[in-house]
Each structure stands twice: as structure tokens, then as C-alpha cells.
Chain A
Amino acid sequence: MNILTADNIHKSYGDFKALNDINLIIPEGSIFGLLGPNGAGKTTLIRIITQIIAADQGSVMIKNEPLNVNHIRKIGYLPEERGLYKKMKVGEHLLYLAQLKGLSKNVAMERIKVWFKKFEIAEWWGKKVEDLSKGMQQKVQFIATIIHNPELIILDEPFSGFDPINVNIIKDEILNLAKNGSTIIFSTHRMESVEELCDHIALINKSELILEGSKKTIKEDYKTNTFVVAHKNLIEEIEDGFQIQSQDQIEDGFYKTSIKILNGKGPNELLKNLIDKVEVHSFIEKIPSMNEIFISTVQGGDHE
């Protein structure tokens, strides 16, 4: 089942078109990467889903139900521009945010305590927010985002400004939440975390959706039938049907060569061909990284 379906979404700010005909399907339980360069429209789309702003046109359905006020409780949102009231005490602050999400005071208290224990921050309860370090504040913000057990968690650049230790803590929690059935929309332009966490991806560039699907199929689509071979001795020439794209010497007498298979033939034929010529040390299919796909599609869009 799909937790979210966006249909034909348009949004303009004055003359500026922020989103143009966006169609999205987010499967329940997935970790969905919403990718795109800065200013592409990611935050606008998220703000529409979180009902902060309304779309000019199009519809968003949550579990086949048009977006409405009751969905606010089911969504947890960590904005990119995030902060806390500096003068408030940590415990009171979380209590306040949890109550705004609709939790009763008692339930909110209990859950906050559980999270405080989990993150080993119980002694922070009475501390003022301004006395916490930035990393500590981000933990508090993360707790605030998920305190009401949302079905859909939207994280906009969650790792910006985090130190590596906190990144790992939060990553583990994200995976945990996904395992427990929450769907996570993960907006970022940092590809290494996408590679690691996401199973579905949508790429927005210049207000338009240019790529969407599961990570696996997208990578499959972007494969170029290229193999990277490490070998001893230079390959001086190769038969028709194969094309050497690059050949670099790594060490004395050892080379790394990218070979593209042009038509009809399979990797085994290439390998056979090579074994006759050189001593093969490794033979790996070149799978494009998300980063490469991202850059090639975004730049491809620029050339149009």
C-alpha cells in the first residue's frame, strides 16, 4: 500500500514556479529519498505535505484519503531550518511540542522519559535549551519530531550540522523506525546518506520531477554495461563489440581498465577475450553511484 500519493502538484510564488506537475508515489514502510539541488522545490513539496502551505493545483492523498487536519498528528516533520526556544527548559519544551501534536500531558511525559533514557540525556530535563550544544539541541529536535509516533516522518536535511557520532545515532534510529513500520521521507542533496539508507528515490530539479522509482531499478536503468578490470600488462587492442574507455596504470605493470560492452555480447565473452591477452586480477561491473546519477541527470537537464 502507498502511504502517500501526490498527483499533478503545482505551486507558484508570484511569477516563480516552485513546483511543476509533480507526481509521486511513496510506498508504506519505505525510506524515500527526496533528492535535488538547492532550490529545486524539495522544501516546497514537503511544506505542502505538512500542510504549512497549500498547493495551487493537484492533490495529495495519505493512505487514499485527501490531506486533512487529522493527518498533522500522523506526520512528524524535522525542517531544514530548525531551532528551539532558547530560554525554555528542555523537558518543558518537548512537553510543549508534544502537546501541540495532540498528545495528552501524561502520555507525552512518559514518552519523553523513554527517549531521554534511550539517548542517555535524563539529566537535561531542567537545563535551558541555550545551555545545550548544537548536537544536543539536534537530539532534542529529533525527539520532538517522532515523539507522537508518526506514521510518516519527514526529515529535511537531517544531518546538516550533525557531528559524525550523532549522525550514526540518528541513522540507527531512522532505520529502527523504518523497521517498526514508519515511512520516512528523507530530503537531502548529500548522496552518500541516500546510498546507504534509501530504498526509493525521487529526484526533483528546477521544479520538475525528473526521476522516480526504487533505488535498484534506477541503478539498473543507469547501468552502462561497463566493466572495470584490474590486470597485469597493458591491453593494447580489443575486438569489435568492446570499447576501452580508460586505461590507467596503478602500479608498475598493473592496470585498471574500464571496458564498455557495446552490443549483444555478455560479460563472459569479454572476460574470455581478456584472459587470452592479460592476467586478470579483478572483474567488476561498474554500477553508477547515486551521486553519478544525480549529477548526470541534473546536468542533463541543464543541457536541454
Chain B
Amino acid sequence: MNKIGLIIRREYLTRVRKKSFIIMSIVGPLLFALVFVIPIWLASGEGDEKVIEILDESGFFRGKFDGVGSVSFTYLDNTVEEAKEDLASKNSYGLLYIPRLDLDDPKGITFFAEKNPSIEVQASLERLLKNEIEEIKLNESGIDKEKLDKIKTTVNLNVINITEKGEKEGDVTVATITGYASALLIYFFIFMYGVQTLRGVIEEKTSRIVEIIISSVKPFQLMMGKIIGIGAVGLTQLILWVVLTLMIQQAALAFYNIDISKAKQVEITQGVQATQETDATVPEIFEKLKTINFPLLLGTFLFYFISAYLFYGALFAAVGSAVDNDSDAQQFQLPITLPLIFSIMLLAAILRDPHGNLAFWTSIIPFTSPVVMMMRIPFDPPVWHIVLSMVCMVAGFIVSTWFAGRIYRIGILMHGAKVNYKILAKWFMMRN
């Protein structure tokens, strides 16, 4: 078997067999699935029934509140003191006390409870009261509520992208989420597996195996074998995550017999923003997801995932070769991680103008392009931007592996040397 192949195989198998890899592969999807399933499950009404008692001395709100989500209301007629005393013995969530009110300056409304109410409950109570008071005020000022409702307008901008293939419906929200998700995923994986490469090289150095290995293979082969092997582990992890997440999510949904459309209720219980919520419901979002060019997204994602890893992995390997332990690695890691962190910080600006100058240049330069380009892809950048960016990326990782290889071949043989940038430059210039 080819020697690089042997090295890749070892790097891959030793990592994939590790307990930490197996645990990560299972726990990761479980977490993702939970994030998705739990709110739906909560919203499906299986959660705790909360009963809130209302003591309304003002008389404005009697019988006006219906239950919301898992919260229901009962009305009391006794005095505040009695109600407060009873609260402990009853099983209710809390007592909402509304004194006689001046509607222009409603003060003194109090919520009594044994425990602090959740922020959701508090927000939805505030909203209910506010809406009710506003309605009463409207009536008093003689404005017909129906008329007002007619005046209120919701506008949803239908975004149509005009492309050579014809018109296509677009949606900014969905594009934003998709862009963020894929950009972050790439960022996260470069970091995680880049650092693994660095650790792997340091391990070979400190365990002193490296000279034994490079008497049989070229340092460059060892470095490439390691980078590719660890990259393959990252890819495996990613695929496992995607597949397992989908499986767990489907299984959970089937188990609780939850219809996706019920997810609409999520918005209601998450009442904090419900008042200014967009009108997009979950099913509509699913509908709009279809407007994204998934083959393009997946294809570019895989390309940038692999090429970005190769680009940064080589640099991480070079750092690993130059130092003797993790703590020495810190100072050299910084210049590598800075452009990555910078590109994440750029995302908000890219979002504001996905096809502007900043977006263009940062998606061409290999240091930032993987993250930035993934943010841009859902917004349909011109094809030549993508092609140019990819060409630069390929050139980028060829240069970076060449650069890293020159440092690596010297670095791995140096033990206990105090390394600084000047010395790295010297190694780089050294003849073989």
C-alpha cells in the first residue's frame, strides 16, 4: 500500500475508534435534535398546566382573558389578603392582582407567586393587559376597533430573484439562517480539527516517534497523511451528525405524533416577541427552504469544508511542528485564528450587503473566503464570484501546504529550541 495511504489510515482509525469521537458523534445529534424537538414538544400541550388566579378590583378585565397555551385563568371575588393567604394552600401558579386603575396611568398591578414567574408568563400577562387597556381606551376615544384593524397593515415583501433561469422566489430570513448555519459550521470544524492536527503533530514530536517515521517516509508525506486523515475524521463526524440528527428528529416527531404545523404554537408560548413576530409560520419556512438551491449549497459547503480545512490544517500542522507543547503553540496559533474570528465578525456586515465590495473581497481571499462565501451562497452571488473564490481557495491551500511543509520538515526535528518568528523564517528559507 502507498505510504501516505498507510498514514491516513492510521490517523483515521485511531481517532475514529476513540471513545471521545463516538461520544461526540452521538451526543452532538442528540443535542441538535433536542433543540429542535423540545420546544415543539412543550408547545404540543403536554407541558404543565398553569392556573393563574385573577383578582380584579377594577372590573375592566373580568372574563376577558382566555387561556393561552398551557396557562388558564380563574377569577376570584374575595379580598387581596384572603387571596394571598389562600395562595399557599392552592395549587395555582400565582395571583394577578389588579387594583382600581387609572387607565391613563395603570399602576399597582401585582403578580403574587411563591416562585418567580417565568419570563414568558410575565411577558404574556403584560401583553394581555396592555392589549385590553388599549382596547378600552380605543372604545372610549370613539375609534371603532374594526376600523382600526383595517388600518393596521401587514406587509410581507415577496422577494423575487431574477436570474437567467427565470424568476425565483427568495426569502431573506431563510437565506440568513442557512448562511449563518453553514458559515458557523465551517468555522467550528476548522477550529476543532485544526487544533487536532496541531495536537497530533505535537504528540508525534514529544513522543519522539517522528524521527522513526521520517526515516521511512518524507516529512511532507507524514504531514499530508496526518492532515488528510484528520480531515476525513471531521468529514465522518459531520456526516454522522447530519444523518443521526435527521434520524433522531424524525423518530422523536413520530413518537410524540407531532405534526410540524403544530410548531406554530411555539411562537405563541414564546410570547416575548410574539407581538412583533413575523407572520411566517414554521410550515411556511419549510416551504421557503425549498427556494434555496440545495445542490449548490451542499456542493459549495463540501468544497469549502474540505479546502478550508486543508488550508488551515496545514498551517496548524506547521505550528505544531515548531513547538514542544500546547502552551508554546498559543502564540503562533493566534495569527492563524485571527482571520477566522475576523471572518465571523464580518458576517453581520456581509449580511447587510451580501454582494458589496467587502463581501466580494473577503470571499475571494482564502483566509476569510470559506466562512464568508458560505454566508453569501444562499443570497445567490454571481457564478464568477464563486468560481474565482474557489480557484483562489485551491491556490491558497497549495501555497499554505507548501509553506507549512517547509517549516514542518525542519521543525519536527528540533527539540527544546526557543522558537520565534525570525527562526521560523530561517527554517522556511533553509535548503533541504
In the assembled complex, the Cα of A86 lies from the Cα of B205 at a distance in Å of 12
Interface residues of A in 35-56 (CB under 8 A from B): 47, 50-54, 56
Q: Judge whether A75 and B215 touch: CB under 8 Å.
A: yes
> Is the beta-carbon distance between B212 and A53 smaller than 8 angstroms?
no
Residues B215 and A82 in contact, CB atoms below 8 Å apart: no
Cβ contact of B211, chosen from A79, A87, A100, cutoff 8 A: A79
B196-227: CB near A (< 8 Å → 1, else 0) gives 00000001100111011111110100000000
- Nearest to B222 among chain A residues (CB) is A100
- A100-B6, A101-B216 given; A81·B415 CB < 8 A: yes
Contact at B209–A56, with CB atoms within 8 Å? no
Q: Kindly list chain B residues whose C-beta atoms are within 8 Å of the C-beta of A78.
A: 212
Q: Is B1 an interface residue (CB 8 A)?
A: yes
The reply on A141 being an interface residue by CB < 8 A is: yes
Once the chains bind, are B212 and A82 in contact (CB under 8 Å)? yes
Which one of A54, A77, A87, A102 contacts B212 once the chains associate, using CB atoms below 8 Å?
A77
Q: How many Å from the CB of A19 to the closest CB on chain B?
A: 14
The answer to whether A88 and B14 have CB atoms under 8 Å apart is yes
CB distance from A190 to the nearest CB of B (A): 20
How far does the Cβ of A209 sit from chain B's closest Cβ, in whole Å? Answer: 22
Residue of A nearest to B429 (CB): A14
- Contacting pair A83 B207 (CB below 8 A): yes
Q: For the complex, is B107 an interface residue (Cβ under 8 Å from A)?
A: no
Q: What B residues does A99 contact at CB under 8 A?
A: 1, 6
Closest Cβ of chain B to A88, distance in Å, is 7
B404: min CB distance to chain A, Å: 18
Whether A100 contacts B431 by the Cβ 8 Å rule is no
> How near does chain B come to A152, taking the closest CB pair, in angstroms?
12
Asked if A84 lies at the interface with its beta carbon under 8 angstroms from chain B, I say yes
B211 and A81 contacting across the interface, CB-CB below 8 Å:
yes
Number of A-B contacts (CB under 8 A): 66
Q: A14-B426, A87-B14 are in contact. Are A100 and B213 (CB under 8 A)?
A: yes
Q: Is A146 an interface residue (CB 8 A)?
A: no
Contact between A14 and B430, CB atoms less than 8 A apart? yes
Q: State A84–B426 Cα separation when bound (angstroms).
A: 29
Nearest-neighbor residue (CB-CB) of A81 within chain B? B208
Any A CB within 8 A of the CB of B127: no
A170 interfacial contact with B, CB 8 Å: no
A180 to B: closest C-beta gap in Å? 21
Is the CB–CB distance between A52 and B211 below 8 Å?
A: yes
Separation of A82 and B217 alpha carbons in the complex (Å): 16
**A39, B192: Cα distance in complex, Å:** 39
Contacting residue for B207 out of A52, A84, A100, A101, CB 8 A? A84
B10 contacts the other chain (CB 8 A): yes
Check A141–B212 contact: CB distance below 8 A.
yes
Is there contact, CB below 8 Å, between A100 and B216?
Answer: yes
Residue in A75, A85, A101, A141 whose Cβ sees the most chain B Cβ within 10 Å: A85
The listed residue (B215, B426, B431) touching A52 by CB distance below 8 A is B215
B5 to chain A, nearest CB (A): 10
- Expressed in whole angstroms, the Cα–Cα distance for A47 and B216 within the complex equals 12
CA of A78 to CA of B212 in the docked complex: distance in angstroms? 7
Interface size on A, residues (CB 8 A): 30
Nearest A-chain residue to B216, judged by Cβ = A100
| A83-B415 Cα distance, complex, nearest whole Å | 13
B220 to chain A, nearest CB (A): 12
Check B14–A83 contact: CB distance below 8 A: no
The residue in chain A whose Cβ has the minimal distance to the Cβ of B431 is A56
Tell yes or no: A60 within 8 A of B by CB: no
Please, which residues of chain B bring their CB within 8 A of the CB of A77?
Answer: 211-212, 215
| In the complex with contacts A54-B431, A96-B6, A99-B6, A86-B215 CB distance below 8 A | no
* A88 partner residues in chain B, CB cutoff 8 A: 14
A 1-57 contacts with B by CB, 8 A: 13-14, 47, 50-54, 56
Contact A82/B211 with A96-B6, A101-B216 known, Cβ cut-off 8 Å: yes
A residues near B430, Cβ cutoff 8 Å: 13-14
Q: Are A72 and B14 CB-contacts (below 8 A) given A83-B207, A96-B6?
A: no
Partner of A86, one of B7, B207, B431: B207
List A contacts of B204 (CB < 8 A).
85
Are B6 and A79 closer than 8 Å at their CB atoms? no
Closest Cβ of chain A to B421, distance in Å, is 15
B413 at the interface (CB under 8 A from A): yes
Cα A199 to Cα B11 in complex, Å, equals 42
Residues of B within 8 Å of A87, CB to CB, are 14
Which chain A residues (71-120) contact chain B, with CB distance < 8 Å? 72, 75, 77-79, 81-88, 96-97, 99-102
B212 x A79 contact (CB < 8 A): yes
Contact between A97 and B208 (Cβ–Cβ < 8 Å)? no
With both beta carbons as reference points, the residue of chain B lying nearest to A100 in the complex is identified as B216
Asked whether any CB of chain B lies closer than 8 Å to the CB of A201, the reply is no
Residues of A within 8 A of B209 (CB): 82-85
* Chain B residues in 8 Å Cβ range of A84: 207, 209, 212
Which residues on the B side are within 8 Å of A53 (C-beta)?
413, 432
Given A53-B432, A85-B207, the answer on whether A97 and B212 have CB atoms closer than 8 Å is: yes
Expressed in whole angstroms, the Cα–Cα distance for A253 and B419 within the complex equals 64
Chain B proximity of A70: nearest CB distance (Å)? 13
Q: Are A96 and B10 in contact (CB under 8 A)?
A: yes
Residues of chain A from 122 to 151 with CB closer than 8 A to chain B in the complex: 141, 144
Name which residue of chain A comes closest to B221, CB basis.
A100
Q: Which residues of B contact A52 (CB under 8 A)?
A: 211, 214-215, 219, 413
Name the residue on B nearest A13 (C-beta): B430
A89 to B212, CA, bound (A): 17
- Assembled-state Cα–Cα distance A56/B203 (Å): 30
- CB of B426 within 8 A of CB of A54, answer no
A79→B1 CA distance, assembly (Å): 25
Residue B3 is within 8 A (CB to CB) of chain A in the complex: yes
Known: A54-B431, A85-B203. 13 other contacts (CB 8 A): A53-B413, A56-B431, A72-B216, A79-B208, A79-B215, A81-B415, A82-B212, A84-B207, A85-B14, A85-B204, A97-B212, A100-B6, A100-B7
Chain B residues within 8 Å of A, Cβ to Cβ: 1, 3, 6-7, 10, 14, 203-204, 207-209, 211-217, 219, 413, 415, 426, 430-432
A-B contact pairs, 13 of them (CB 8 A): A52-B211, A72-B216, A77-B211, A77-B215, A78-B212, A79-B208, A79-B212, A79-B215, A85-B14, A85-B203, A86-B207, A101-B216, A141-B212
